[in-house]
Amino acid sequence: MRRSRPSPRPAPAGPEPIAELAIEAMGGEGDGLAPGPVFVPFTLPGERVRAAGRGERRELVEVLEPSPERVAPPCPHFGACGGCALQHWEHGAYLAWKVERLRATLARQHIETELLAPFAAAPATRRRLALHARAGRRDAARLGYKARKSWSLVEVDTCVIADPRLVAALPALARLAAPLFEHPKSAPTLHVTLTGAGLDIDISGVERKSGGLSADSRLRVAEVAAQSDFARVTLDGEVAYLARQPTVAFGPAVVALPAGAFLQATPQAEAAMVAFVTAQAAGAHRIADLYCGAGTFTFPLAALAPVYAADGAAPAVAALKAAIATAPGLKAITPEARDLVRRPMLAEEMKKTDLVVFDPPRAGAAEQAAEIARSGVARVIGVSCNPATFARDARTLIDAGFRLERILPVDQFLWSAHMELIGVFAR
């Protein structure tokens, strides 16, 4: 399989101008920033570079004076693949930049707090991938990631962030995708998760208006899945092949995962986050776990105190409820499928609750934070994949009398600009 080469790219033909630039800082998405402002990907502060293009967004042509923090990217697809943006940066400097970005995001809401040493995911640990497929040979599709700033596909034969078991499965996954192109509008994405039972693959993007896959194509999918020893294959949640129920352990519980269910990207980050949350929850007498998913935090927290667990994803809550029987000896767990945007847990419902844990999607928990602010809850732990919406919700709690005591930064999406966090509040 042909490998894509990283930037810098050769000077473009035609009238596209080339300028020499001094990179002074890093932009929010991981591009180098020169006066103007001008953003140049794959550059670092302190470098002098040649860049092509007009306007704010340019393309790197050549690094004239490299930063001492520049390192060789470990992936042969870096620069073309749209996944990683910062493999060329020495890890300590890269991580310090992400923490300072988090500090600046909080400062925009006039929030200061202690930032603990961050948890940093290692290469080769990611357990879930979204792989895009395009028509190829009859027996194997073209499989990979979207190119940077493009819908084009970069075929990959390795991925340095992924668990090696996912990398080893790439050829089989390409064969699995081959029958998915009966309709010209199909653009499948394989959402692949490594579970305790093996690979769980949920496929989206197959054109359904024409009736979906034919019986022949479904049979071919099932045959490849069986040959490859996949645990389960689903088409937008509908089972196409099932050899074993995919499961995951949350604390002492074994949860049967619904198709396409959310998991933290790496098991190591999940373990670190659970350990931090449960340590901060020590001494609680009654806990509300809001946006609980399938129970990542619910089951470990139930070792400490009774837990009310709510989430808008009914299949995840059903899986959590079913898994309670696998973990005897825990405190009582009360699960509920509940839209926490339209129907947040009210302050009046929290009268006997002394700790709230919330872990919302990227949009944050504005409605729920407003109710927590009205309540008499003593402590709150906020888990967030979006520092900006976390800061907004934190401001709501702080204005109501809470103090943000500390934050654990979590770098779970290695070599990206993305940063997660856990914040601890007390009255």
User: Which residues are marked as active site?
Assistant: 385
In this structure, the dihedral spanned by the alpha carbons of residues 277, 279, 285 and 291, taken in order and rounded to 10 degrees, is 10
Sheet arrangement for strand 32-34: 25-26, 32-34, 38-40
How far, in Å, are 153, 208, 351, 373, 397 from residue 427 at the CA level?
50, 52, 15, 10, 9
Beta strands in 236-312 (DSSP E): 238-242, 247-250, 253-256, 287-290, 307-311
Nearest CA to 154 out of 78, 80, 85 is that of: 80
DSSP-derived secondary structure for 186-226: ---EEEEEEETTEEEEEEE----TT-SS-HHHHHHHHHHHH
Report the DSSP beta bridge partners of residue 383: 422
Report the DSSP beta bridge partners of residue 150: none
| Runs of H (alpha helix) within 122-193 | 164-168, 170-177
Helices 387-399 and 91-107, interaxial angle, to 10°? 40
**Residues 6 or more apart in contact with residue 233 via CB below 8 angstroms:** 176, 201, 202, 203, 221, 222, 225, 239, 240, 241, 242
DSSP one-letter code for 30: S
